Amino acid sequence: MPYARRLAFVKENGGTISFDPNIRKEMLKIREMSQAFEYILDYTDFFLPSDGELDYFGLSKSRDEEKIVARLHKRGIAHVIIKRGARGASYYSKDEQHHVAGYPVKVVDPTGAGDCFGATFVSLFLAGYSVPDALAHANAAGSLAISARGPMEGTSTLAQIKELMRQQN
């Protein structure tokens, strides 16, 4: 199956697509890269940019986060989750908005923190957790990820995430 057809196949068969762009502005100077990101956004259910990545997509000349999020919703993206590092994360759907603070930890290595955050949020949300609970767990997972050196060493179990949350609440 051609690569460009795979996203449509997932959607046509009831799948969910999350997109964490991990973009660098230099990448968007490459026309094919910019086009690929636009194509992926057309199929995205959960969009997980960092707060610094929103304006890279040419969605708005404005830096007004709510206007940018409204444009993302207009193009069909149901869930926009903005990662803010130590400052926590924000969630926007057409019907609700939430912000959850981060968990203060000593930063050892930030590699993989966004991946841990995204995987935790999407999996717990799809498992039925409320948005604020899924965000809080995702923030804790990201905090645990930056507490260890290496891209996989900071991954955590749900029990470890809950323990960090218990300790810091």
Residues tagged active-site: 115
- First-residue to last-residue Cα distance in the chain: 48
Dihedral of the alpha carbons of 31, 32, 35, 40, in degrees to the nearest 10: -150
Q: In terms of C-beta distances under 8 Å and separation of at least 24 residues, what long-range contacts does 59-67 make, across chains too? A: 66/92
> Residue 93: in which H helix or E strand, if any?
none
- Tokens of residue 96, six digits: 């609700």
